[in-house]
Amino acid sequence: MSSLVKTSYSHNVASTAMAMCSSFCPQIPNQFRGRPISSFPSRQPFSVPFKAFTSQANIKDQLPARIGFLGIGIMGFPMAQNLIKAGCDVTVWNRTKSKCEPLISLGAKYKSFPEEVAASCDVTFSMLADPESAVDVACGKHGAANGMSPGKGYVDVSTVDGETSKLIYGRIKATGALSLEAPVSGSKKPAEDGQLIFLTAGDKSLYDTVAPLLDIMGKSRFYLGDIGNGAAMKLVVNMIMGSMMASFSEGLLLSEKVGLDPSVLVEVVSQGAISAPMYSMKGPSMIQSLYPTAFPLKHQQKDLRLALGLAESVSQPTPIAAAANELYKVAKSHGLSDQDFSAVIESLKGKLQQ
């Protein structure tokens, strides 16, 4: 990619950087570094490169010159904001322009169509709500593909199914540009804190180029090989998460029904082998029947639906996820789509069962 700036890191630079690393280049813990998985095509393992940015000027020198961001929602907004705060030249687009205004006030540029963003930028990210939106923004009438050309890159960080990812990849590649899928594990707060996990697949050279940008927005990144593997990994992760939340909801309600304090249950769980940050973060508000949206319930149900489709395609039984999916569907039918996915607990309460 001739117009994209690629960086290399020597052993000496990395050693010096240990004492100089700014908040824009968090160190990546060893346990988060990508490892090859046997079900994926064989790849040589590689470690996440360490970067040293000693000033705003140096940050700009290390990154692609112009960055686009399509989709300024619950996740896209904080991700784009972190890029801007890191000194990046960012151009944004959203169907509702008003959502872009705070970013514009921070210095972002705005374009009226995705194709205009892609045409004016070296690398364009997209964060859309569902497969249909992802395809439309990338491949539609005024889609980003119309603004792509050799030397540019497109990074889709939306959660979609593998077929959608391959469709977008093919359309972008037909323009001569490079393409990468990079769905994220993490919700609103990790996005705000730059603590997302990127699950990438596609063009390795583009991955290498955008790695410093991923490190601004996240705490770790994995390169998983061929296009579709990132989407598959994300769907498996979210399938597990949705099932965990459904089971946790059952436990909270059962503890209360038998006379236990559900708040104590949250504490007990948080100190045992099944401890998960999700339980301690969501539990207290769930007990109060409050569900501030970090990850919308409708998106969790969408991901379960896509994961079940993935499982069906390889004849893998997933009865637990299938049962959880039905609970999320019940919650959606009672108007809880835009609440946090922890609102699935409401589908287990008597008032929704009657």
Active site residues: 234
Give the helix ranges, DSSP H, for the chain.
11-17, 56-62, 76-85, 101-105, 114-120, 131-139, 162-173, 188-193, 204-217, 229-257, 262-270, 277-287, 297-313, 319-333, 350-353
Q: Kindly report the backbone phi and psi dihedral angles of residue 202, in degrees, each rounded to the nearest multiple of 5, phi listed first.
A: 125, -140
Residue 319 and residue 315: Cα distance in Å, rounded? 12
Show the tokens assigned to 237: 């992760």
SS3 call for 106: coil
Measured CA to CA, the distance from residue 86 to residue 53 in angstroms comes to 10
Cβ(145)–Cβ(139) below 8 Å: yes
Q: Please report, as a single letter, which amino acid is at residue 297.
A: L
**Which tokens belong to 153?**
């890159």
Contact 165, 230 (CB under 8 A): yes
Closest CA to 233 of 295, 293, 159, 296: 159
Three-state SS for 242-292 is HHHHHHHHHHHHHHHHCCCCHHHHHHHHHCCCCCCHHHHHHHHHHHCCCCC
Radius of gyration of the chain (CA): 21
Residue-wise DSSP of 145-197: GGG--TT-EEEE-S---HHHHHHHHHHHHTTT-EEEE--EE--HHHHHHT-EE
With beta carbons less than 8 A apart as the criterion, state whether 84 and 109 touch: no
